[in-house]
Amino acid sequence: MDRFVITGGQRLSGRIRVEGAKNAALPLMATSLLTDEEVTLTNVASLRDIKSMRDLLEKLGVKSHIGDDRVVMQTVDPNAIEAPYDQVRVMRASICVLGPMLARRRKATVSMPGGCAFGDRPVDLHLRGLERLGAKIELRNGYITATADRLKGATVFLGGPFGSTVLGTANVMSAATLALGRTVIECAACEPEIVDLANLLSSMGAKIRGAGGPRIIIEGVEDLHGTSHRVMPDRIVAATYAIAAAITNGEIVIDDFPLDSLLAVVDRLALIGVHVHKVTPDADDACCTVRVTSERILRPTVITTQPHPGFPTDLQAQFMALLCNAVGNSVITEKIYPERFMHVAELSRMGAQLLRHGPTVVVSGGGRLVGAEVMASDLRASASLVLAGLAAEGETIVNRVYHLDRGYQRMEEVLRQLGAKIERVSDKPAEASEARGAGMRVGVPNSMQEEG
């Protein structure tokens, strides 16, 4: 099993480019189930989760070909309707095949995705939404079976106790493109990944308006055709590397930075003393070049995670690592996944002064972080430990970095390019080397992973 060995204290500098967004690419890939024609995605990152989705789609009769950052997909067997447990268990985002498969093939059987590292994440809103469109839902032996002669447009409410559901919105919106009549999704997720999905579906012939707001309206069509689409830059990756610059008092130029999608994050960074400046002021804020610098003494702040356009839960752990270096007390409250604090104990092993009370953590910053051996528990917690290791005195060993390979494309190589002292070490060097060289062919560990 691979681990990172990091020698901290190196100031990062240089220039990098943000890869395509994992959380956008997965539901985009599922749209290949909505048509018999080719769907081509570019700017696709080489990640474990992308490989997992390709494997799942192959089980569902979709052949795919890869090349550089491109994936070309086409349905060859429209009769395959079962997403088995062995495929779904490695990635919660597998649930996003349910809506497209039901809409096009009239029946879908998908394994229940189960729990994840930071708590229960039910799919009841997905199922209620599809039922509103006329689907009959049966739960049996750990599988969801959905059937419908043809879905019919309806008003669907997708609000939940912690806000709207991103994958639920993707599922219902995708299904509604082929439904009879008009569908209105109320309390839809506003995340930019939903906008990216709506743009792709529209280029396939769907009629969608309102994506990016809390009400999305879809006029159903008879069928969809193939298309080509560029995946949006990954806002979580972009912000993670901005934090890497700040936590090492470095200076990094980042290309393909999705500034429009990170306004809440940039606001918090500015309060802390981290500056994100556009290199070309007239460039499109959806994808521009920025320079990240920081003040020598960082300031504390208050962060509360919220649905977009609020502060993203997927950056809570990384900001906690950064605020360990700020002088004073910061407060972080997790409103999306209240149990998403697996990284707290591991950061404490590195000298972080953290006090958790329910969904809130008080960070007493300004002390020293020291290298230690730590264990990664999930994707974003792993990133926070790597960031802490970059700033810590001495050597940090981050175990189980296969979590990172789910969402960051060769992170150690990117950080090394910026001047970090970081190496990937494996108990099985030959196998690890082969997997890293395989790009999208990298295998998936046999443990349940979260969406993250």
223/204 Cα distance (integer angstroms):
9
**Is the Cβ–Cβ distance between 260 and 53 less than 8 Å?**
no
Give the total residue count for the chain.
Answer: 452
Report CA torsion sign: 273, 362, 450, 185.
negative
3-state helix, strand, coil in the chain (%, to 5): 35, 30, 35
Q: Pick from 348, 363, 260: which is nearest to 309 by CA?
A: 260
Helix axis angle for 342-349 and 316-323, nearest 10°, is: 30
Show Cβ contacts of residue 440 under 8 Å, excluding neighbours closer than 6 positions: 44, 46, 47, 50, 51, 54, 66, 71
**Is the Cβ–Cβ distance between 181 and 173 less than 8 Å?**
no
Q: Within 13 Å of residue 394, how many CA atoms lie on the same side as its CB?
A: 10
Q: Is 256 exposed, middle or buried (0-12, 13-18, 19+ CB in 10 A)?
A: buried
Q: Is 280 exposed, middle or buried (0-12, 13-18, 19+ CB in 10 A)?
A: exposed
DSSP 8-state symbol, 231: P
**Is the Cβ–Cβ distance between 13 and 419 less than 8 Å?**
yes
216/237 Cα distance (integer angstroms):
27
Q: Where are the beta strands (DSSP E) in 43-104?
A: 62-67, 70-75, 82-83
450/442 Cα distance (integer angstroms):
18
70/166 Cα distance (integer angstroms):
24
Task: Pick the catalytic residue from 96, 116, 287, 324.
Answer: 116
Q: Is 324 a catalytic residue?
A: no
**Is the Cβ–Cβ distance between 137 and 280 less than 8 Å?**
no
Tell me the β-bridge partners of 119: 116
Q: Report, as residue numbers or ranges, the catalytic residues.
A: 116
